[in-house]
């Protein structure tokens, strides 16, 4: 029997189906392969995403398609369980989806944070992983997720706040997934040579590399996942609507995999001491 006290648990909090796999799928696969349990909380079902109409027609709705893709990816990665918070995808900044009353960004932080705090208390993960303060590449839902998690951590640890009678809980470590700036600077210089505009990248041309580079985040952990790269790849292939089944579908992750099969994180909690990059998210947290 697994000793519950020894069991390593990780909670990943994201905004849309695919964020977990494209952003940190290698890390998730690595820790599961080493015996950790991983749970995912996802704020929306990616309702505002774009996909091939022929593919969408096979499902009841865009949400149903993307949920099915996510469940497929969770199975490939070996994730214990996924919990949807039930909000609607807010779409890219400035899109009409922003103002939908059910849009995730319309929900007050106090409410979204409480929902996330519920899972932190209930699951008691040693680690919580989410987006960096600019949501990786600036998606409003990613930024709202980051802010919700920050608030959720305060709520979760505050024993004066009651959430369905659950005990207050403080994870040992919180990490923010980010993109390695050094390499991105090189990529930006190279992109025009391949006829690519660094301000309009990705399937929906909604990734602005130049904007991403305006924020410089330190890297405290680099997780190499070469041994489980094939698992990450199978999970990514579940996301057909987002081009995950094509090798170059998601350029950044493809490039990272191509370069060294690693994902990088900034340590949010506890405040890191020194500048050494660690290669294990649990390191130094006991
Ligand atoms: Zn997303």
Asked if the model's pLDDT at residue 96 lies above 60, the reply is yes
Hey, which bits of 108-219 come out as E strands? Answer: 127-131, 173-178
Give the distance (Å) from ligand 1 centre to CA of residue 190: 25
Give the distance (Å) from ligand 1 centre to CA of residue 156: 24
Asked if the model's pLDDT at residue 72 lies above 70, the reply is yes
Asked if the model's pLDDT at residue 211 lies above 90, the reply is no
- Decide: 12 and 40 in contact? Cβ < 8 Å: yes
Give the distance (Å) from ligand 1 centre to CA of residue 191: 23
Sign of CA dihedral 156, 162, 163, 169: positive
CA–CA dist 13, 19 (Å, integer): 9
Higher-pLDDT residue of 253, 235: 235
Asked if the model's pLDDT at residue 214 lies above 90, the reply is no
Predicted local distance difference test score (pLDDT) of residue 236 = 92
| Environment of ion ligand 1 (residues, CB < 5 A) | 15-16, 19
Higher-pLDDT residue of 255, 23: 23
Tokens 């993109």 belong to 179
Give the distance (Å) from ligand 1 centre to CA of residue 259: 23
Most confident residue range from 49-58, 97-106, 249-258: 97-106
If we measure between CA atoms, which residue out of 163, 77, 72 comes closest to residue 123? 163
The mean per-residue pLDDT over the stretch 27-34 comes to 98
Give the distance (Å) from ligand 1 centre to CA of residue 282: 25
Give the distance (Å) from ligand 1 centre to CA of residue 267: 20
- Other Cβ atoms closer than 10 A to 246: 13
Asked if the model's pLDDT at residue 198 lies above 90, the reply is no
Give the distance (Å) from ligand 1 centre to CA of residue 9: 23
How long a stretch of residues is the chain? 286
The mean per-residue pLDDT over the stretch 223-250 comes to 85
Give the distance (Å) from ligand 1 centre to CA of residue 133: 14
Asked if the model's pLDDT at residue 189 lies above 80, the reply is yes
Helical segments of 139-269, H only = 140-157, 181-190, 209-212, 229-237, 251-259
CA–CA dist 102, 221 (Å, integer): 35
How much is the pTM? 0.92
Which residues face 177 on adjacent strands?
131, 265
Which residues face 37 on adjacent strands?
9
Give the distance (Å) from ligand 1 centre to CA of residue 148: 15
The mean per-residue pLDDT over the stretch 34-39 comes to 98
The mean per-residue pLDDT over the stretch 90-110 comes to 96
Give the distance (Å) from ligand 1 centre to CA of residue 89: 9
Give the distance (Å) from ligand 1 centre to CA of residue 4: 32
Question: 256 pLDDT band (50/70/90 cuts)?
Answer: low
Asked if the model's pLDDT at residue 177 lies above 80, the reply is yes
Q: Which two tokens stand for residue 255?
A: 């490039």
Asked if the model's pLDDT at residue 213 lies above 70, the reply is yes
Q: In Å, how far from its chain's centre is CA 220? A: 17
CA–CA dist 148, 138 (Å, integer): 15
The mean per-residue pLDDT over the stretch 10-22 comes to 97
């Amino acid at each position: 029997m697994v000793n519950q006290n020894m069991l390593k648990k990780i909670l990943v909090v994201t905004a849309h189906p695919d964020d977990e796999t494209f952003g940190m799928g290698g890390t998730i696969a690595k820790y599961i392969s080493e015996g950790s349990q991983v749970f995912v909380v996802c704020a929306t079902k990616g309702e505002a995403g774009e996909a091939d109409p022929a593919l969408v027609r096979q499902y009841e709705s865009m949400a149903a398609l993307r949920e099915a893709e996510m469940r497929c990816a969770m199975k490939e990665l070996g994730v214990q369980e996924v919990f949807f918070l039930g909000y609607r995808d807010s779409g890219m900044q400035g899109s009409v989806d922003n103002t939908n009353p059910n849009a995730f960004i319309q929900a007050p932080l106090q409410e979204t944070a409480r929902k996330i705090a519920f899972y932190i208390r209930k699951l008691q993960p040693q680690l919580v992983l989410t987006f960096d303060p600019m949501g990786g590449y600036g998606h409003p839902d990613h930024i709202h997720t980051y802010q919700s998690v920050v608030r959720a951590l305060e709520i979760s640890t505050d024993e004066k706040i009651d959430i369905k009678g659950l005990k207050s809980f403080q994870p040992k470590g919180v990490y923010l997934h980010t993109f390695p700036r050094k390499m991105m600077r090189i990529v930006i210089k190279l992109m025009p040579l391949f006829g690519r505009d660094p301000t309009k990248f990705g399937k929906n041309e909604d990734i602005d590399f130049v904007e991403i580079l305006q924020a410089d985040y330190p890297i405290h952990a680099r997780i190499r996942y070469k041994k489980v790269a094939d698992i990450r790849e199978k999970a990514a292939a579940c996301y057909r609507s987002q081009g995950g089944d094509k090798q170059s579908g998601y350029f950044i992750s493809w490039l990272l995999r191509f370069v060294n099969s690693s994902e990088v994180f900034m340590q949010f909690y506890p405040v890191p001491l020194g500048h050494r990059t660690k290669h294990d998210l649990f390191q130094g947290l006991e």
